[in-house]
Structure 1
């Protein structure tokens, strides 16, 4: 089916944000924004789990327990992501690239399910990934699932409150069009954070 006209620019924005984030992680090049290719080294496992400051929240092996300030590791499988119940620590902990990418993939996976799937998945069902290549593949699959859910939405769906029943946000009280906008915002701002962390890792210790 053809996407509703109101959805098309948001789909285009999502696709661009996804393309740039994928390029920024995987390389070998990413568009600078002006059409110039900038060389990018592929993300390594060491960089994926790099903790720039003490007390980072990250993705950790489930059998090690949560990191500093966290009370649990959320997720299924051999890896989990540091978390704590509301209210979260203030100021919020610094989070690693692994934490941010896992968070982004999880919210895409769960929102896809709560829009066009079983509407039953929880954070305890999502499986965080402990290596860079696996995390990139997981992000791709999560983005595919969310985009497929968007393509199933017609104009009536865009104006439906609670069309997404994702339980960890305001989706059940929002028009679906507002949810789509919010997910794009998540992609853009976490993508920018991940890009900055890659720059910091590259120049750590004063090395260019």
Structure 2
């Protein structure tokens, strides 16, 4: 049995709580409301997955349709891609759909896991993008599990090792691994909050 370093445990617990709460917000039938009580949640539908709350959103699109407004490329692999643009990115940033945020978060978790405890060869170009809600949720669950396993592979020395994660799309090569673990947690937390807000807005838009 693998024992995580003591200073990793609080961050591991935070990651577990945030990722489980996000997955339950997407799948239901209930989620933790934050006060210990269960709140009923409807499973994410394809319509909500692709819902654009304002004109000009970035989202995931069929590759044959090309990128959306202010995007220059559809990132990822497969028949669907995620709106993206080369640096410098458009300013102000486009509003992104729930589909875009899920794809971004899943890619980050999966690729960082690979570049920490895998082949260290995964790229954005070969990472599949889901065109439906069920596929996106399944991919997120896989990414969560892969990153958690990568965390459990790290010993105390690894936490202080600069470049222990070789993820090529961030500052990982210049950061101790413990800082990257913290960063991934805040990505899950803040994108999870954005996704929760979009779910609230979608539900309210259907009532009105």
- Give the TM-score taking structure 2 as reference length: 0.98
Matched, 1:38 2:39: yes
1:129-208 counterparts in 2 under 5 A? 129-204=130-205, 207=207
Q: State the shift of 1:183 in Å.
A: 0.1
RMSD over aligned Cα atoms: 0.8
Cα deviation per residue 1:94-132 (whole Å; 9 max; x = unaligned)? Answer: 000000000000000100011011111110010010110
Cα distance in structure 1, aligned partners of 2:77 and 2:20:
28
- Give the TM-score taking structure 1 as reference length: 0.98
- Paired position in structure 2 for 1:109: 110
SS of the residue corresponding to residue 124 of structure 1 reads helix
1:77-92 counterparts in 2 under 5 A? 77-92=78-93
SS of the residue corresponding to residue 134 of structure 2 reads helix
Cα deviation per residue 1:23-75 (whole Å; 9 max; x = unaligned)? Answer: 11101111111111111110000000001100000001111100111000010
Cα distance in structure 2, aligned partners of 1:13 and 1:49:
29
Cα distance in structure 2, aligned partners of 1:38 and 1:67:
35
Cα distance in structure 2, aligned partners of 1:120 and 1:92:
29
SS of the residue corresponding to residue 168 of structure 2 reads coil
- Paired position in structure 1 for 2:26: 25
SS of the residue corresponding to residue 81 of structure 1 reads strand
- Paired position in structure 2 for 1:4: 5
Aligned length: 207
Cα distance in structure 1, aligned partners of 2:21 and 2:83:
26
Unpaired segments ≥5 residues, structure 1: none
SS of the residue corresponding to residue 73 of structure 1 reads strand
Cα distance in structure 2, aligned partners of 1:171 and 1:36:
38
